[in-house]
Structure 1
């Protein structure tokens, strides 16, 4: 068979295949409406993607630590992460350091950065969860 005839046959088969999908009756698929999705409780209200509880979701705090803090501060906050020695990451578990800094200082450092530490744009709940995690890591 010549190339032109094969190409014409392929086109006919493709058109027949595409048209076969058009045999559905209108009842097979209904039209989408906004009611198909969850709606806010009040007109004009926004739906929040954040948890409704007062405290931070511990899973989000752990994820933020792994993605943003672990590389320098390590898993326990001792400054022994893979990049910790190179950037001279402080040991956040050191009692003397913990006594010197306030919670607001730690939160501001997370938000704005300091020295070689970059700023992190994180939700307030996650920042407070990270502050609590740093405080809980204090060496005894």
Structure 2
């Protein structure tokens, strides 16, 4: 084989490889983004920092305990009669994310069942408010 045929074969092989690679990329359907509205969330990130600081300034920290039935989340005493939302974010699959609204009573303890959750890493995101003051806490947990 001559040099000309070898170079032509090399370029042809490269073109076939690139066309195949582009075809495989176009066929990819499951593209999981962290959030569908991440631009909007990024603009409000300073608010999240402020809410996290509010949670850090509480008289005691939020305690997350593992129980037989799931998670027991205990809030400080000054958070009673507040309301908010618990989000369980699954980094490996956005379709498995769970969001649970809550309202705290005098007990200040929430029980979150984990029986229906897949085993592995989750990110627990707590956001709550009381008297127009917002709080936010994010914790990595393993179920």
TM-score range, shorter chain: under 0.3
Instruction: Give the structure with the higher percent strand.
Output: 2
- TM-score for the superposition, normalised by structure 2: 0.24
Relative to the length of structure 1, the TM-score reads 0.25
Larger radius of gyration: 1
| Structure with more helix by fraction | 1
